[in-house]
Structure 1
Amino acid sequence: MKSTVIICLISLFLTSCIVKTEVDTIIHNATVYTVNGEFNIYEALAIDSGIIVAVGPEHEIMNAYQSAQTIDAKGRPIYPGFIDAHSHFLGYGLQLQRLNLVGTKSFEEVLDRVQQFIKDHDDEWITGRGWDQNDWEVKEFPSNVALDSLFPDRKIVLKRIDGHAILATSNVFELAGINDQSTVPGGRYLLNKKGLLQGIAIDEGMTAIKDVIPEPSLEQKNRALIDAEKQCFEVGLTTVTDAGLDQYEINLISAMQSDGELKMRVYAMYSAADSILDRVNELPLKTDRLNASSIKVYADGALGSRGAALLEDYTDDHGNSGLIITPADSVYKWAQVCKLNDFQFNVHCIGDRANRIVLEAMSKTLGGTNDRRWRIEHAQVMNDADLSTFGEFNILPSMQPTHATSDMYWAEERLGEERMKYAYAMKTLKNQNGLIALGTDFPVEDISPIKTYYASVARKDSEGYPDGGFKMTEGLTREETLKGITIWAAIASFEDENRGSIEVGKFADLVLLDRDIMTCEEDDILSTEILQTWNGGELVYEK
């Protein structure tokens, strides 16, 4: 008995003599989802100089480290900082400065919002985004007659929510040199029953209009990036993929990051343009906060505006099978350029025809197994004959769960029952390579990764519709979904060595939630609150 007491006293003495390592921050009494290879769950972690230096059981971390900033998480869950694998970061920030038409339930409501916006804005040009005719009782594209009549002294350009159609006043069409005889490859101008311009431009038809809209100022773009970052941190995002920027915009992001104005980590895709075709080798930029070494091409349009390229006509629009924005030979050309310059190749593909064209170009260029991680962005409507190409050539699907829950009300009317079998097929595509990158496409969809998570797991909208979920055979598990917005998204952008999981040596990009989305009731997921967001060991948001 006496010897036991002596041993305990000696052990206590030796423990008290252990010198603890000083670190910047310790977070303990947590449920730490590492999302590492074993999907380990621990209780504590230590951070120093913005890097995770230890993660493990509570007693191990608390016995080995000390910090003036020791945070008790009170048992709450910590996840790797969320990653949006497909967004429009700058575009989202710019939209915050413009007219918001999201949620309008009729064209009359659109007109009302324009009227209210104009009361506070005396600019000649009024730009906005967010209308969706599929949400209206009359599910038809509007005309610009009312806009012309109500606002004759303004130039008004209103993008559809998906960014693939524009409603504009007649003076804008005139300024752009568009008339009722105009045509454009990969685009369309809608005409009314009299054969006159209706005021709607689709896909490449929008280019001439966008060319005459005044470019946002440097100050506006700076503010847009800062505003977008604030919104991202508030929802737990620490890395975003911006799916389509020009060289000037990427350089602006780099400069703001270097000056400390911008902390958000950005994986940037260069928009494919003739101006960069012969100098792609000069374009790569790589820092801790910016990776710009990929090119984005649009193969087709969007399903909501009937511009997605289908193998057969739209079920609800006979004679229309969608639009090819980038022809097959040009897709192949860009694939060759990317392979030659070791660039990642990312292509927007919605319809089954576009997916087939791009998969054929990619497979022909890649030639077999590889680690180039080329991506199909959206992959919304697939033909079953093309699915195996993803796995055979290591092509990654990058998908947006809320696209499925936004489109589910009308998708079958567009596609028909047979094509719906391989539409929004997240599980099927995930199984090809064992991973899938998830995002939102914001501002097309809500910016929240929690809504992404819920749509992926429950396959329901924010109102809990439909009971039982939409095409539940294509839903992902909670673990798969968490990986889709963390480590798999990092893999899809060649950033898995320094982010995407809570592991030693990686950036301390973390998010603390008020509930455990891995175990809570499904109906409670959407009520989740982000309590803290950490970026590089810095607390950048706290509720």
Structure 2
Amino acid sequence: MRLSFPARGIRLAAVVLLAPALLHPASLSAQGAQAQTAPAPADLIVTNARVYTADDARPLVEAFAVRDGRIVFVGSQREATMLKGASTRMLDAEGRTIIPGMVDAHAHFAGLAQKLRAVDLVGTRSLDEVVARVAEKARNLPKGTWITGRGWDQNAWADTRFPTHEALSAAIPDHPVMLTRVDGHAGFVNAAAMRLAGLTRITKDPDGGKILKDAQGNPTGVLIDRAQGIVGAKVPEFTREEMRSALKDAVARMHSFGLVGMHDAGASRANIDLFEDMAQKQELNLRLYVMIGDDSAALRHYFAQGPRSGLYNGQVWVRAVKLYADGAMGSRGAALLEPYSDDPNNTGLLLSAPQHIQDVAEAGLRAGFQVNTHAIGDRGNRVVLDAYEKALGLAPRVDHRFRVEHAQILHYDDIPRFAQLGVIPSMQASHQTSDMYWIGKRLGPTRLYGAYAWQSLLQTGVVIPNGSDFPVEEVNPLISFHAAIARQDGRDWPAGGWYPEQKMSREDALRSMTIWPAYSGFQEKELGSITPGKYADFVMLDQDIMRVPVELVLKTKVLATYVGGKAVYEGTVRH
């Protein structure tokens, strides 16, 4: 990759004697008019590239030009270089692949920031390993200091039962500990944390939550969904400046993997205020589509303001709401129409009453806000679709673009309802490759035909914005791209892919990370493709993910990430 800058200063030119005819006033006038209509020079011209634009009108080109942070030309190298001026930067891609800047359509900004400051439990293979990592952290902290961590997954252990607190409490007796499961829908705490929270055998399950207890009725230390709040309310929050610092680190990590934007799936008013402050101070450098968390006071505040889009030079959008219908499959909290195959007395949890979802959806329609609801189980999805349908009957609105976040397990009767209602299934391909090892035990064989059913949904005419749900999954969006086209893990298992008839094409997988997230956030006129008039957000890769063998996709490295025509990440080594 070569970046060259034209020489500044006075250039010597040969003196040419002009023929008298060329000095005729009419000729000079024509030349002047031509000069006046010539386009202004570009700030940046990218050449010698294989550019996948995600724009159906011009899907593959070799060059493009940028001025004032936006694309002004897309096409041939010969034409692009006509926009070269004295101060134009020339970027020779040396034949490498460029795609639009990728956007994660469902993730958690503050969650990633907090995880970067917590004990990393991703990849732990046993309870003993979890305890050891927490004990190592405790050695360097004063007694009484809270310890948080995230990423444990009992389904990856030899003993797949939920853990109990005894080993954790014995190893870390002097620090309250709260460890969040990989999906965020269960917490694991020690005795010190339970004491501080007043959690005992007589504590009752909250609505939408469950406290796991042993045969004697004592808490085991595992809290499902809303029960996490019993202990979570006692964990000290980040200060505003601690959160600002952690958010900056989170943005840097996103940029290193080619992400130029994300849809933040549930933010508090305090965090939204901080996001806007960072954007005003040019500390964000991110296309941030914010979903307001389900808080009645916050919703009243933002509904009164009305939808706001493209704030601070296209950095912040506040025009959506995030609700929760049910829990997650890994913790058996996803709401199912029939009991879990491996837990026949359990059909999961509804975290919100159906009437609440309908009421917020109706209020959102009247205020001009998109409503996006987490639903994983087939019952959870049906509840949301029913609530949306009733709300739309009471407050009809064209082009509402309501979303269901995850839409993982669907009854076959509900698959066509997304297109019929104009509802977008916002799905995370990497969840399929994380869950495929054990999901059959939860659901049995029949329900798997409606699990992670991307192709079945696409055939109805909907779009599927892709994402990672980080920090649930890794930040790298190419993991979801690979999962979408292969339905295999990083070791190329299973051969041929898991339920391969549901694979996406590479073209759709690219759209699912670029133009479809833009559409699902009402941003398609500004973002999502390398198209004249849109923001110049793009990524350079060291491999052509649209052509290399599937097994090489995950070896692809991001060489550079650009937001608004400016490099926000350059390098080949990640930390």
Both structures adopt the same fold (TM-score exceeding 0.5): yes
Paired amino acid for 1:347: T
Mapped pair 1:289 → 2:310: no
- Equivalent positions of 1:54-73 (< 5 A) are 54-66=73-85, 67-73=87-93
Distance in 1, matches of 2:350 and 2:99, equals 40
Is the contact made by 1:363 and 1:393 (CA closer than 8 Å) also made in structure 2? yes
Q: How many residues are treated as equivalent by the alignment?
A: 530
Match of residue 171 from structure 2: 150
Match of residue 317 from structure 1: 343
Paired amino acid for 1:241: H
Q: Alignment partner for residue 328 of structure 2, among 298, 302, 309?
A: 302
Mapped pair 1:261 → 2:283: yes
For each residue in 1:436-492, what CA deviation from the matched residue of structure 2 results, as whole angstroms up to 9, or x when unmatched?
Answer: 100000010011111111010011111111111111111100000000000001000
Q: Alignment partner for residue 487 of structure 1, among 494, 510, 515?
A: 515
Q: Report deviation, 1:340.
A: 1.3
Mapped pair 1:386 → 2:414: yes
3-state SS of the aligned residue for 2:459? Answer: helix
Report runs of 4+ in structure 1 exceeding 6 Å deviation: 17-20
- Equivalent positions of 1:74-473 (< 5 A) are 74-122=94-142, 124-181=145-202, 182-279=204-301, 280-282=303-305, 284-286=307-309, 287=311, 288-367=314-393, 370-473=398-501
Q: Report deviation, 1:419.
A: 0.7
For each residue in 1:171-204, what CA deviation from the matched residue of structure 2 results, as whole angstroms up to 9, or x when unmatched?
Answer: 3223323322322111100011222110111001
Is the contact made by 1:295 and 1:344 (CA closer than 8 Å) also made in structure 2? yes
Distance in 2, matches of 1:232 and 1:21, equals 33
Q: Report deviation, 1:39.
A: 4.8
Distance in 1, matches of 2:402 and 2:188, equals 34
Gaps of 5+ in 2: 1-21, 23-29
Q: Alignment partner for residue 476 of structure 1, among 504, 507, 529?
A: 504
Gaps of 5+ in 1: 1-9
Match of residue 26 from structure 2: none
TM-score normalized by the length of structure 2:
0.90
Match of residue 48 from structure 1: 67
Bigger Rg, structure 1 or 2: 2
Q: Report deviation, 1:335.
A: 0.9
Residues 55 and 277 (structure 1 numbering): CA distance in 2 closer, same or farther, change over 3 Å? closer
Distance in 1, matches of 2:135 and 2:557, equals 35
TM-score normalized by the length of structure 1:
0.95
Distance in 1, matches of 2:196 and 2:417, equals 45
3-state SS of the aligned residue for 1:386? Answer: coil
Paired amino acid for 1:228: A
For each residue in 1:273-293, what CA deviation from the matched residue of structure 2 results, as whole angstroms up to 9, or x when unmatched?
Answer: 122344422364431100011
Q: State the identity as a percent.
A: 39
Distance in 2, matches of 1:429 and 1:39, equals 26
Is the contact made by 2:174 and 2:192 (CA closer than 8 Å) also made in structure 1? no
3-state SS of the aligned residue for 1:84? Answer: strand
Is the contact made by 1:85 and 1:240 (CA closer than 8 Å) also made in structure 2? yes
Match of residue 12 from structure 2: none
Q: Report deviation, 1:428.
A: 1.3
Is the contact made by 1:104 and 1:131 (CA closer than 8 Å) also made in structure 2? yes
Distance in 1, matches of 2:58 and 2:412, equals 32
Is the contact made by 1:394 and 1:433 (CA closer than 8 Å) also made in structure 2? no
Match of residue 524 from structure 1: 552
Paired amino acid for 2:399: D
Distance in 1, matches of 2:413 and 2:97, equals 42
3-state SS of the aligned residue for 1:490? Answer: helix
Distance in 2, matches of 1:311 and 1:20, equals 61
Distance in 1, matches of 2:322 and 2:266, equals 6
Residues 43 and 154 (structure 1 numbering): CA distance in 2 closer, same or farther, change over 3 Å? same
Distance in 1, matches of 2:570 and 2:218, equals 54
